[in-house]
Structures are given as C-alpha cells and as structure tokens.
Amino acid sequence: METAVTKTGTEDKIWGGGNEPLKASYGKMMMWFFILSDALTFSGFLAAYGFSRFKFIDSWPIADEVFNHFPFLHGVDAPMYYVALMTFILIFSSVTMVLAVDAGHHMKQKKVILYMFLTIIGGLIFVGSQAWEWKNFIKGEYGAVETKGGQILQFVDAEGHRVGLKEIAILDTHKERTQHESKLGVWYDKESALPTYTIDEIRAGFAKRKDLLIRTQVLTEEGEKTILSREESLRRLQADAIGIVEGANLVHNEYGTPLFANFFFFITGFHGFHVFSGVIINIIIFINVILGTYERRKNYEMVEKVGLYWHFVDLVWVFVFTFFYLV
Amino acid sequence: MAHDTAHHESNISRIWKVFFLLSVITIVEVILGIIKPPFLIETTLISMKLLNWIFIILTIWKAYYITWAFMHMEGETKGLRRSVVWTAIFLICYLIFILLTEGDYVYEVFKAGHKSWDF
C-alpha cells in the first residue's frame, strides 16, 4: 500500500526535495489545479453566453416562461420551482459528501460508506432531473411560427395568455403532402419528419379566431414581450411567416433565438456530463471504501479528492442556476 | 496523510450551519426571482438591473462558502489558496469584461445598422 501514498524518500532532506511549501499531497494539489482549469472552461462557456445575451439584450427569451414545468403538475405554471429543487438536491449531496470526508478523517468506515452512498443517490437524482428538464425543453409546449429572417412569432389571446398551435390550426383534410417513407420510394430513402401543421393551416385558423394576436421576440421597457396589433399580426403571419417550430433543437427554437437553445444544451449538458462522471468516480471510490482499501492504507485522502471534484460540480451548478434561470 | 487524521477535529456542526446558510440564500434567490420586486427591476446600477446584481452577489457568496467550508480551502496554505483563487478570479474578470463589452458593442451595431434583422 505504500505505493499509493506519496513518499519519495526525501522527507527529511530539506534541500533534497523533502520540503513541501504548499503542505498538500501531490494528488490533492493536482485536483485543485484541475478544478482551476475546469472552472476556467466553464467560465468560458458562461462568458460566451453573456456575450450572446448582451448581443440580443432586447430579444432574449424569458427563462421563467421556458422552464415552468414541475413533475405531476401538468399545465400549472411553476417557474423555477423545479430547478430550485434540483439545486437543493445537489447542495444536499455536497453536504453528504463533506460528511463522508469528515468521517474519513476519523477513520469511520461505516459512516463513509453511508454518506458516500447518499451522495451517489443525490447525484443520480440530479442527472435524472436534468434529463427530464431537457425532455420538456426539446418537446416544447405551445409551438411558434418562424419568419424568413429567422425570428420567432408566438400566439397569445386577448388576455396575453399563450395559445398553442394545436388550438389554432384548422386541419386541411385535402392536403396533398404526405410523409414519405423509405418503403414507398425507389431509392429506399426517407425524408425528415413533416411538421405537424402547415403554415397555411395556421394562417387559416388565425384568421378565423379574431381574439388571437402575435407576440414577437422583442422585449418592451418592462421586460415583457411585444404584442402586435391584430392588423399587424395578420400582416406578419401572411407576409413573413414561412414555417412552424415545435420545441427546440440546435437549429430551430420555439422559445426565441436558437442561440438560447444552443447554450442551454451545451452548458447544462457539459455540467450534466460532469455530474455523471462525478457519480462514476464516486462509485469507484465507494467500492474501494467497502473493500477496505483505505482502512488498510490508513488514510481516506482519496475520498477527500473525489469530494473536491464533487463540490466543484455543485459550485458550477450554483453559477449555471443564476445565469440561466435567475438573471 | 497520516499526520492529518490525528489532528482533525470533527466539524459536523459547521457543515450543517453552512448547509443551512446555503439553503437560505437559495430560497431568498428563488423568492426574489418569483415575485421580482418592481423597485429592484426598475433601478439600474452600472447598466444592469439591481435585482441581477443581488443575484450575482448572492451567488458569489454561496460560491465562497462552498469553496471555503466544503472544499476546505480555509485549511489550505496561503500559497495554494492564492494560486487557485486569485488566478481564477483574475482570468474570469478579464474574460467577462472583454466579452460583455464586445457583446454590447455588437448589439449597438445591430441596432444602429441600416440592415433590418426583424423580417
């Protein structure tokens, strides 16, 4: 076991490399510098997000309207409650991690096992929550119309409540365009999925329902989206709209500028990947703790090192939470 | 390290105290985010809403507690602490300053330009 603990045989030779000015083991110090570099990577992403947001400062999507789902509460507007819950789960798993580190300092194997187990469970719940959040984001809720210039037009009723495409569209039963499948063609090629509604079906439905208005991406002085007059709405839908958007991917995004979706996928995805790898590393150390590796080694510094990584993941989430959901 | 294990005091009560503090800060953030007090939104400070400044300060406060208490940065030597924290703070501030200034400039170009973006 001596190999796992850094001993260079120079411990008492001050001029022979036995001096440790930072009083930290090699592994722990390198974990700190890895965290530093990873923190700079995340800062790069978040600063790029800030750049894009400043670039589109008067037309950025409003996070409260985008992330307003909560499990088992369908159709209830619950802005931020779910992310707040996710934040708590992650902070709590950080607490159990630091308790595991503390128990490790006192060589209490049983307690380390319990706390590390709770940490892993917390991490898994968090990753699962993020997957659910992604699912809602990709699926979308109301749908919108995209214009020639790539702008997003959303529908609202007279009270300003959002109206979904499915409530507007009048289905054209004589539609000639059908989904092409690989079994139908000569070359066994299939096309990408057709949109649920055509733009003409939306136009027809919009013309019928006199109470509907169009909401653009542009923010007003009060920080709300601009709602066009009925005439202007009809004109824009007729002249500019070219297709419908449902949900979000890297190219189209019903919530607003595609950059918002790109950053959402990239930053929360990269963070989720960190949580996932953190869980994997935690599991490896957890198995080692159960096997008694650190009892034989007579120190639990490995738990401390993965703990550092795990807290870092929590630290990053605190910033992602602020800049994606709050600000 | 073996000499570490002998001297560590249990700081479980401190861990729970920090957890309580982090929870309270998060709850305050969420409440502010939901009610959005009009006063805090209307007031701007250095071209940003006061509310956003509050969020950012609370976040940095949380980050401080996570790093110092949970990651035990307070127990590290001055040299290690500074080489990690100062490097990060300096580079991040620099990056944010440059990118946000540039973003604002691009926004002005878009707004003042003779091209229409909304069509």
Asked if A46 and A319 touch (Cβ cutoff 8 Å), the reply is: yes
Whether A34 has its CB under 8 Å from any CB of chain B: the answer is no
Between B4 and A270, the higher pLDDT residue: A270
- Is B1's CB within 8 Å of A25's CB? yes
Averaged pLDDT, A298-314: 93
DSSP state of A228: -
Which residues in chain A are contacts of B117 at CB distance < 8 A? 149, 151
B69 and B23 fall within a common domain:
yes
Same domain, B81 and B118: yes
Q: Is the pLDDT of residue A204 over 90?
A: no
A172 has pLDDT over 90: no
Average pLDDT over residues A129-136: 93
Banded model confidence at residue B97, pLDDT cuts 50, 70, 90: very high
Same structural domain, B56 and B4: yes
Mean pLDDT of A217-227: 85
Instruction: Kindly report, residue by residue over A276-302, the tens digit of the pLDDT.
Output: 999 999 999 999 999 999 999 888 999
Does the pLDDT at position B93 exceed 90?
Answer: yes
Position with higher pLDDT, A255 vs A194: A255
Tell me which of B111 and A16 has the higher pLDDT: B111
> CB neighbours of A206 closer than 8 A, spacing ≥ 6?
A155, A168, A212, A233, A234, A237
Report CB contact under 8 Å: A92, B19: yes
DSSP secondary structure letter of residue A59: T
- Chain A: residue nearest B89 by CA? A40
- Using the beta-carbon criterion (under 8 Å), do B30 and A88 form an inter-chain contact? no
- What's the number of CA atoms in the CB half-sphere (13 Å) around residue B79? 6
Give CA–CA dist A7/A17, Å, rounded. 11
Domains and CATH numbers, chain A: 23-140+259-326 (1.20.120.80), 144-173+192-246 (no CATH)
Are B93 and B63 members of one domain? no
pLDDT score recorded for residue A7: 64
**Taking CB atoms and an 8 Å cutoff, what residues of chain B touch A149?**
116-119
Asked if B108 and B65 sit in the same domain, the reply is no
Do B6 and B24 sit in the same domain of this protein? yes
Specify whether B85 is located in the same domain as B112.
yes
d(CA A224, CA A215): 10
d(CA A25, CA A48): 35
Yes or no, beta carbons of B2 and A97 under 8 Å apart:
no
Per-residue confidence at A8, pLDDT binned at 50, 70, 90?
A: low
Total of domains in chain B: 2
Beta carbons of B11 and A29 less than 8 Å apart: no
Question: Residue A192 belongs to what H/E stretch?
Answer: none
Partner residue facing A298 (CB), from B2, B11, B26: B2
pLDDT at B87: 94
* CA atoms within 13 Å, Cβ hemisphere of A147: 21
> Does residue B11 sit in the same domain as residue B69?
yes
Nearest chain B residue to A304, by CA: B71
Do B23 and B71 fall within a single domain? Answer: yes
Is pLDDT of A6 > 70?
no
List CB contacts of A293: < 8 A, sequence separation 6 or more: none
Q: Per DSSP, what are the bridge partners of residue A146?
A: A152, A243
Does the pLDDT at position A34 exceed 80?
yes
Give pLDDT tens digits for A224-270: 888 888 888 889 888 888 889 998 999 999 999 999 999 999 999 99
Complex-level ipTM: 0.88
For B19, the domain range is: 1-75
Nearest to A322 among B56, B66, B70 (CB): B56
Report, as an integer, the average pLDDT of B58-75. Answer: 92
Dihedral-angle region of residue A247 (phi above 0 means left; psi in -120 to 50 means alpha; beta otherwise): left
- Crossing angle (nearest 10°) for helices B78-112 and A26-55: 10
Q: State pTM to two decimals.
A: 0.87
- Regarding whether B102 and B61 lie in a shared domain, the answer is no
Which is higher by pLDDT, B79 or A194? B79
User: Looking at per-residue confidence, does B63 or A174 come out higher?
Assistant: B63
Contact residues, chain A, for B52 at CB < 8 Å: 326-327
Average pLDDT, chain A: 88
Q: Are residues B19 and B44 in the same domain?
A: yes
- Sort out which chain B residues have CB atoms less than 8 A from A310's CB and list them: none
Q: Which of A102, A312, A316 to mutate to test the interface with B (most CBs of B within 10 A)?
A: A102
Four-residue CA torsion sign, A307, A308, A309, A315: positive
H/E element holding A189? Answer: none
Q: Is the pLDDT of residue B5 over 70?
A: no
Q: Which of A244, A320, A264 lies closest to A138, judged by CA?
A: A264
pLDDT, tens digit (0-9, with 9 covering 90-100), for A70-101: 888 777 777 888 889 999 999 999 999 999 99
Of A81, A298, A308, the CB nearest to B71: A308
What are φ and ψ of residue B48, in 5° steps?
Answer: -145, 150
Is residue B64 located within the same domain as residue B117? no
Of B34, B79, B102, the CB nearest to A80: B34
Kindly state the average pLDDT of the residues A197-221.
87
Residue B6 pLDDT level (bands cut at 50, 70, 90)? very low
- Spatial strand order of the sheet with A241-245 comes to A225-227, A213-219, A152-156, A144-147, A241-245
Q: pLDDT value at position A327?
A: 84
- Mean pLDDT across B28-51: 84
